[in-house]
Structure 1
Amino acid sequence: MLRPRPETPAPGQESVWDYPRPPRVEPVGARVTIRLGGQLVVDTTDAVRVLETSHPPVYYLPTADFAVGALADAEGSSFCEFKGAARYLDLRGGGEVRSACAWNYPDPSPGYELLRDRVAVYAAPMDECTVGGEVVTPQPGGFYGGWITKAVVGPFKGVPGSMGW
């Protein structure tokens, strides 16, 4: 499949087509929050994001910044050729539970050590996820966990027909 035509970023925006492969991990200076069941389950200014060609950023938040009892082990695991073995987590907040909606890398591969003791969360099953006060849009499709903000342009992997990108 041919690479799609990237959108042209406006000033202050990034094109996901300029992101590298293998992915890069970098600190984020913005405040990141997640609400579930009406409860603020995480509020941090210590996030990192993973940037990979054709994907909106995936935000990894410190495990220690989640509300007490918000994270619980879930069934399942997966493997990323770059980051290593991932485990899945349930997220709880305000009396609600979202099964296997989060993941982390307990022992990340070399070059991805910044992901240790951090958790990424799918935005779609949450009440609200924000970066710098902006409510994010979930990455299309059900497999990838990127968060779309006004700061990034696509097209984004996950839309129908993007499997070969």
Structure 2
Amino acid sequence: MGLSWQQGPLSATRIGRFLVPDPLPERMLYAEPLRRRMRVRYADEWIADSEDVVLLHEPGRYPVAYFPRPDVRDDALLPTDRTTRHQDLGETSWFTVRAGDRRTERAAWELTALPEYAGELKDRVAFAWRAMDAFYEEDERILGHAADAYHRIDIRDTSRTLEVRSEGRVVARSEHPVVLYESGFAPRWYVPRADIDESALTPTEGQTFCPYKGLADYYDIGGSRRAAWSYRHAYPEVGRVDGLVSFEPDKVEVLLGGRRLVPEPGQQVVPHGVDRGLDTTEVRGA
């Protein structure tokens, strides 16, 4: 989730509310120092390297990293005639990014007519995430988007019984599932494979990518498409759900402690595409 994406407090689809007497503006943007060294790789060269990155949180978008111009290689940015207008922050000038023999148009931008209240972004450049080869914090590659400090995952054991049924068939029954709480999302319940009738799961083509958990594989159950998923190579930070299976309560019958689960706000997640040029081996090994 994060601060302004999905169900976050600054998003248009937030599930909570600010306890203030007057309505808040429809759109609220938030900028803050990242306080991490961040680098940009393009055409096998480092074109930006900064410990003074500012992160912009904008409703309905992933956070965007803005680099001070002195921390971007002078020869990496070619000005263009293209300008657009940001609905809140004014005129935007675009650059072609180049290194060696490679060029990518519309791959970076600068906000050039900022209102006075947005001075933190003055003389800073942002790079289109998928147009670059990679972004790094120190020496570790960051996947999907700039890391959001307001995104959190907690995984908890539970003794509540979870049962999954489909078309009258018991697909899974566990007395020790785990629940994954992800900020802004509905809880997700994961079942060990030993407690699942795996003959009921039909693997499907196509994966989705979570920058915080890894690649998800999907399964059909009977006539229900993509009714279950599993992170077969979950990132170490969420290793407790590695290989476990979770089920969609709007596609199959999921009962927790005898109570049927129903979709909640935050249940439907907008899937994230894998970075351009990033294959599944790299995702698993990043």
TM-score bracket relative to the smaller structure: 0.7 to 0.9
Alpha-carbon distance change, 150 to 24 in structure 1, aligned in 2, over 3 angstroms: closer
Larger Cα-atom Rg: 2
User: How far off is 1:25 after superposition?
Assistant: 1.2
SS at match of 2:120: helix
Structure 1 counterpart of 2:9: 18
Distance 2:3 2:30 in 1: 14
Q: What is the root-mean-square deviation of aligned Cα atoms in Å?
A: 2.6
Which of the residues 124, 129, 136 maps onto 1:118? 124
TM-score, normalised on structure 2? Answer: 0.44
Structure 2: how far apart are the matches of 1:156 and 1:109? Answer: 31
Structure 1 residues 14-41: Cα deviation after superposition (integer angstroms, max 9, x where no partner): 5632236321111110111111110000
Equivalents in 2 of 1:57, 1:111: separation in Å? 19
More helix by share: 2
* Aligned residues of 2:43 and 2:100 also touching (Cα < 8 A): yes
Contact 1:46 1:61 in 2 (8 A): yes
Q: Where does residue 70 of structure 1 map in the other structure? A: 76
Return the letter of the residue paired with 2:44: G
Counterpart among 104, 107, 112 of residue 101 in structure 1: 107
3-state SS of paired residue (1:113): helix
Give, in whole Å, the separation in 2 of the partners of 1:91 and 1:32: 18
The one-character-per-residue Cα deviations of 1:33-54 (angstroms, maximum 9, x if unpaired) are: 1111100001111110111222
Q: Deviations over 1:76-134 (max 9, x none)?
A: 11111211110101111233111111111123112111111100110101111124534
- Quote the Cα distance in structure 2 between the aligned partners of 1:136 and 1:47: 17
Counterpart-to-counterpart distance in 2, 1:110 and 1:55: 23
User: Closer, same or farther in 2 for the Cα pair 1:97/1:64, shift >3 Å?
Assistant: same
The aligned runs of 1:15-164 (5 Å cut-off) are 16=5, 17-19=8-10, 21-131=27-137, 133-137=140-144, 147-149=145-147, 152=151, 155=269
> How far apart, in 1, do the equivalents of 2:38 and 2:148 lie?
15
**CA distance in 2: counterparts of 1:49 and 1:86, whole angstroms:** 17
Q: State percent identity of aligned pairs.
A: 22
8 Å contact kept, 2:64–2:146: no
SS at structure 2 position matched to 1:69: helix
Counterpart CA distance in 2 for 1:64 and 1:29 is: 17
Give the partner amino acid of 2:52. D
Q: In 2, Cα distance between the equivalents of 1:48 and 1:40?
A: 19
Runs of 4+ in 1 over 6 A off after TM superposition: none
The separation in 2 between residues aligned to 1:88 and 1:156, in whole angstroms, is 28
The normalised TM-score by structure 1 is: 0.72
Equivalent residue, structure 2, for 1:3:
none
- The unaligned stretches of length 5 or more in structure 1 are 1-6, 8-12, 138-146, 160-165
Partners of 1:32 and 1:45 within 8 A in 2: yes
| Rounded Cα–Cα distance in structure 1 between residues aligned with 2:107 and 2:124 | 14
Which moved further from structure 2: 18-27 or 118-127? 18-27
